[in-house]
Amino acid sequence: MVSPESNDGKKLRVGVIGCGGIGIQHASGLVGLDCAELVAGCDLSEETRSAFGAHWQDTRPNVNLYEDYRQMLASESLDVVTIATPDSVHADPVVDAIEAGVRALFCEKPMATSLADVDRMRAAIEQNGVLFSIDHTRRWNPLWHHIKDEVIDGGQIGDVQYVVGTLSGKRAALFRNGTHLVDAMCFLAGSDPQWVFAELEDGYEDYAEYRGNGGGDPSLEPSASGYIHFTNGVRGFYTGTSKRTSGSKWRFEVVGSKGSILIDKDARLLVGNQVHTIEEPQAEWKGIPAGVRELVQTLHSGGTQTSAPLSSALNVVEVIFGFLASQARGNARVDLPLSRE
């Protein structure tokens, strides 16, 4: 179990694996924090490493840069590691960081692209009591928390009946932005997924396992249309298409017994004949930097869970692999969690 006493009053030492644009956003969450400091970054690309170092030159001039993350883990005595590697390259850095004594991890989505990697990561995290966050970014968006906490949980639309999530465009692939869509639907439904069925995009009928290249080419991955049944009885309707559509690429609808919520570029509450705009509360931090910041502060204070914990990461990958399994079984119902036999 994570304990703040083990800090001995020292700043938490943070390293970043994957120093591109997302890695820079990870490190940005440390700005102004008294309890932590960025001490190292790692990337296979010399150009990317250099750009990362240059970005932090004025405020973190002593950041050590590495090509091999294992060397960074062996040399730096890190407390926190953030992982911004390609989609299919999360498991080894997570497990190796935990074996090196890292106590908190912020990992890009999806958690992994195979069930074997998911299980390896889960075992290492749970067996070592490591604090974990997955980057499903809406979980650090003040508007989304206001909608969930005040509008939905506050009873303004009554009992939630169903949630609809729609995503279009070339990045609508399941392991790309599809992960965000699934997580947002779970968040709005307020429950765990129980079973699913799905049909993959035309041309991907035999796509039974991940065949992407880490996210660089979304055309190597399918989008899907699917159904998610939640344990609390809420129904989830998932629609993804790689084709361009009119209007917003992202759209969510939450329908309750008294009213509904529509979220696209704006958020609106519909009750009877009345339509009200839902205003976003002000927040100093949101998105990826807020997620890293929350993780570090939670570790420092001795907390045990963040806004995007391991359980939420597992729910998303179970749904995605459930969609693939449903397609392989003739669009049949697939119960979750998936059998590992």
Domain at 139-281+317-335, CATH from 1.10.3720.10, 3.30.360.10, 3.40.30.10, 3.10.180.10: 3.30.360.10
pLDDT tens by residue, 307-333: 999 999 999 999 999 999 999 999 999
Question: 4-138+287-308 belongs to which homologous superfamily?
Answer: NAD(P)-binding Rossmann-like Domain (3.40.50.720)
Measured distance CA(53)–CA(62) in Å, rounded = 9
7: pLDDT strictly greater than 70:
no
Between 328 and 2, residue with greater pLDDT: 328
Give residues with Cβ within 8 angstroms of 341, minimum separation 6: none
Asked whether the bond before 61 is cis by omega within 30 degrees of 0, the reply is no
Q: How sure is the predictor about 1, in pLDDT bands with cuts at 50, 70 and 90?
A: very low
pLDDT tens by residue, 85-97: 999 999 999 999 9
2: pLDDT strictly greater than 80:
no
Measured distance CA(271)–CA(263) in Å, rounded = 15
- pTM equals 0.95
pLDDT tens by residue, 68-116: 999 999 999 999 999 999 999 999 999 999 999 999 999 999 999 999 9
295: pLDDT strictly greater than 50:
yes
Residue where the block lists tokens 């926190």: 80
Q: How sure is the predictor about 8, in pLDDT bands with cuts at 50, 70 and 90?
A: low
19: pLDDT strictly greater than 70:
yes
Q: How sure is the predictor about 287, in pLDDT bands with cuts at 50, 70 and 90?
A: very high
**Which one-letter amino acid corresponds to residue 268?**
R
Residue 288: which of 91, 87, 109, 89 has the closest Cα? Answer: 109
**What does the mean pLDDT of the chain come to?**
96
Can you give the residue ranges of every domain in the chain? 4-138+287-308, 139-281+317-335
In this prediction, residues 143-167 reach a mean pLDDT of 98
Whole-Å CA distances, 201 to 95, 204, 322: 33, 6, 15
SS3 302: coil
pLDDT tens by residue, 205-230: 999 999 999 999 999 999 999 999 99
pLDDT for 246 equals 75
